[in-house]
Structure 1
């Protein structure tokens, strides 16, 4: 049996522009207050997210003017490339590697379109070899961090000794819309931030933390829960069902089956590391996983400091959990468009 992939390094990156939640709410009142009759009621969402601040690739004022595809795409390419390079350089330095040592790059992103894809655009800056394997992954949304880790781990395991770089970068702020007078857009405005995370995986040697197994569950007839609408102005968010309620009703049975396929039960998990979609989603996860209220502490810290950054968010949580000391077995979980649950188990040797 081939050796399991090991987590060699993990790093995160945030753009420089910091948005306090109270300032975002004040701006939302200016933009939506007089145009959306129910905004007064919806405005309570901002204080219920658990978010204190977020980061964006553009200054605050940039988001207060209407933007179309060309401007959003230009902002995406500039911002995503910068974050990609910063996160990757940190992960490489931590692993004592250079870009020349990377054999495979997995790029996870669902918040912008780049062709050539991001890893090709930054190949020169990072010093990738001409024979590097490129695996761009689009459309997984918030599940992308965990699903991307699963993909990268399988690629590392398939070629022991090679270095696989995973970069998850999302610029969710670029999907904020001034023209959509909908609850979904208000929820997005209250939640989304930008960020990136990078990991290096290698099978065959080194690494105290190994990717043990992975699994997914796709619920039928759930395309309306989360996703993008595409129109001339850009991406518009789809939230047509209440995600915390769906999590409470459906996540535990799916997770039990995923673990059973791995030969595990919930009792085998020492620590859950979850994508924190927002404070209500974190509460729903604690309820459905039968955890004590407050158990998902790193999740709450990340959502407070960074907001929901989609795919990289769970890797920010993993970074904090790893720095605090991982137990023997952890389970990473994330939910994303599809509607999909994605899970990865980690085995850690102290």
Structure 2
């Protein structure tokens, strides 16, 4: 096994990188417009209106200075070539994320996100034909409220012996369920039937929460240095893969993933055009949210481009299938999250075995 001689210096560097990376997570919080609800009302009162969004600005002056220092610090580190290349790519990705934050609400936002999520157009267009025959979980009539879902998720988190990842409800981002580094957040308007709550447990708890728990348990900052696109691709891909493997994927969830890809394919159309297309297949509320997710980050949503992250669910599923077919182990992704990082940290003995957690359906 190869060795890195200056592990302490590398870990100090990685800790600084992880701090900056945590400040540059370009997703729900920074991309939620401060006038979301008002623009939604205007949209539904008109047949032609495209939302004009306003965003809270974040002061990133200190982060920019830290980024500049990190670029110089990497040059001073003596590292194996492949590890150096990965860390250089990671810093370039952080710089791009910084530009992404700066460009929120500007015409430049779409250009930056296209570089962040450089999905292959061919892969996106062909994804539906590459999906397997899926046996869907039968959906029941009973519907749980956000508070009831919260209780179910809390129960399953505790079953895994995880006590530092609380579940909270969100009155502002009222339509989403998301997992941050230390919380599960449920929009207070969210409702799901019993079958979809079972699916959520697999997706959010037995995938995302367990992965994040393992990273915290490791106390290894190198495990936090993920290229942004790869992070989403493998995280959401693994969650969908687990849903399918555990037979908890519902038809409605599958349709959601599929129409998210369709929305990304239509990204250069206006909000109204995308919505009108989706509304022929989805309920109005779901069509709006699906459209909003790909146009968030823009001010004028009649403009082309947006936030193409939502292709990650099905593109990621395909990536996970290929990873497994090539001999990759799912357990590996519960610690390292992406294969390239697993290879490098294992090759240079830069991680420690601990009592990491894995979903029960893998045992």
Structure with max Cα Rg: 2
Greater per-residue strand proportion: 1
Greater per-residue helix proportion: 2
TM-score between the two structures when normalised by the length of structure 2: 0.27
TM-score between the two structures when normalised by the length of structure 1: 0.28
